[in-house]
Amino acid sequence: MIIISRRRFLALSGGLLATGCTASRSADSTIPSPSATSTTSAPTTAAPTITPGVVTTVSTPPELVSAALVDQPVLVLVELRGGNDAVNTLPPLTGAYRDLRPTLSLAESDIVMSPALPDHGLHPSLSPLLPFAESGRMATLAGIGFDDPNRSHFVSMDRWARADRLDDSLGWLGRWLDTLPDELTSLGATSLGAVGDVAIGASQSATVIDDVAAFTFPSTLSNATIRALGEQPSNDPIVAAAQRAFVDSVGAIEEFDEIADAVRARTPIRDVDALGVQSGAYTTGLAVAAEMILGGVGTRVVTISVNGFDTHSKQLETHAALLADLANGLSQFWTTLDAAGASNRVLLATTSEFGRRVAQNASEGCDHGAAGVSFVMGNSVNGALSGALNTSDLLNGDIRPQLDPRVMFTACLDWLGADVEQILGKRYDEFALLR
């Protein structure tokens, strides 16, 4: 069930979409009629409802709730940027793991074991994810990666973002966004933290929000002033892109204002003097994502990217902290959605451009590798372990790819109701990731 305030909803339907401020979201774009089919079947509620953990009342006009914007399926992509070390994430219990990592393997007593993950364990930092694996809400894809792996960060990131179509600069989610010219709000696709390359389309790309506390224009300028910058687009494509970006930013802020209080209440204020990478980025980002999903701003896609997984040296401590942040963030994310009764609408998948070399180097770290591990979470996933991290049959020292990432992308696109063949060229459904 979707909890949404009438004020939010009316602002969405009347105030924002109708402003039609961008080239891609024209003024004619209207809320789909009540008869429009909705791909999920969240029930309509007109009575005040109290849900644990969420304090809000529902007084939504029935004709608006069925509008396709609010209760549609949502995809969250969580990127572990830098190349996550799969074999310490999901340590294989047999094979050459310990021999190749004399000081970098996890102690047997620290590894989290479960019948849900045969022949593998979980990094101790990931223990908050164990209930998800055991209740079947999390699929584990071991050995995921493209054939003929490339060990460059940037080539591999492009292959993941573009579903291995390197001739095409668009992300596979961006290609899907391009098919929805009139159906997305400004926050319909949002990247938290950094640009999500996967959500770059030709006509629509994700709105990037870094620090939610700072996501507001100075009070000295009106939105109309900012919007005026976009009038009469220049013939110079770069100037026109900058003009459009300002207009899109105003639209995003107007929508974000609807949920800003709720979001800011749940995210820490950044340290004024802090430089560089902020700790807790996953926990913060996933909290924002949950508020967006619950806030009724039409969010369909959220990407969250966090740097730091390029652990060439002194890996153990860094990796443990990153995974702990990830697992805590994921656990809280689902707790929030569960409490609001919204978890049926959400599918979440993790990505990383490659796994790391199985053998450690002399810097207490490991170099770029090949296949890795992904987790897919949601109430509709086939929550099992697929594939394996096989350290007995390595490819130049790396885990050999055995699961095509496009199987995961196919499931994600199915979840969104996309035309998979149009976007990926064909379906990759060697196994069914969704029930």
* Beta carbons within 8 Å of 145's beta carbon, 6+ residues apart: 354, 355, 370, 371, 372, 399, 401, 403, 405
Distance, CA of 204 to CA of 428 (rounded, Å):
25
Rounded alpha-carbon distances, angstroms, from residue 410 to 155, 232, 253: 21, 40, 32
Residue 365 CB, nearest approach to another protein (Å) = 7
Query: Which listed residue (360, 374, 386, 391) binds another protein by CB under 8 A?
Result: 360
Q: Does 28 bind another protein (CB under 8 A)?
A: no
Q: What are phi and psi of 192, to 5 degrees?
A: -100, 130
Round to whole Å and give the CA distance between 353 and 431: 22
Q: At closest approach, how far in Å is the CB of 260 from another protein?
A: 13
- How many chain residues touch another protein (CB under 8 A)? 65
What does the angle CA 51 – CA 56 – CA 59 come to, to the nearest 5 degrees? 105
| Interface pick for another protein out of 50, 155, 202, 432 (rule CB under 8 A) | 155
Site for another protein in 291-310 (CB under 8 A): 307, 310
Q: In the range 48-67, which residues lie near another protein by CB under 8 A?
A: none
Min separation Cβ 208 and another protein, Å:
4
> What one-character-per-residue DSSP string does 61-123 give?
-HHHHTSTTTSS-EEEEEEETT---HHHHS-BSSSSHHHH-TTTSPPTTTSEE-TTSTTBEE-
Tell me if 33 contacts another protein by CB under 8 A: no
Amino acid found at 325: D
Q: Minimum distance between the CB of residue 113 and another protein, rounded to whole angstroms?
A: 30
Separation CA 405–CA 305 (nearest Å): 18
Please report whether residue 273 would count as binding another protein according to CB under 8 A.
yes
Q: Which stretch binds another protein (CB under 8 A): 8-16, 117-125, 242-250, 399-407?
A: 242-250
Which residue of 151, 165, 264, 266 would you call a contact of another protein, by CB under 8 A?
A: 151
From candidates 238, 265, 392, 426, binder to another protein by CB under 8 A: 238
Asked whether position 242 contacts another protein by CB under 8 A, the answer is yes
- Residue 260 makes contact with another protein by CB under 8 A: no
Q: How many helices (H) and strands (E) does the chain have?
A: 13, 10
**Separation between Cα atoms, residue 357 and residue 87, nearest integer Å:** 9
Q: Which pairing describes strands 346-351 and 121-122: parallel, antiparallel, or unpaired?
A: unpaired
Q: Name the minimum Å distance from CB 188 to another protein.
A: 13
Contact 44, 11 (CB under 8 A): no
CB of 326 to another protein, least distance (A): 18
Shortest Å distance, C-beta 302 to another protein: 14
Which range, of 54-62, 223-231, 331-339, 415-423, touches another protein by CB under 8 A?
223-231
Half-sphere exposure of 230 (CA within 13 A, CB side): 19
Nearest-approach distance from CB 151 to another protein, in angstroms? 6
Contact 140, 133 (CB under 8 A): yes
Name the residues that contact another protein, by CB under 8 A.
81-82, 150-155, 194-195, 207-211, 214-218, 220-222, 224-226, 228-234, 236, 238-239, 241-243, 245-246, 248-249, 252-253, 270, 272-273, 275-277, 307, 310, 312-313, 359-365, 367-368, 396
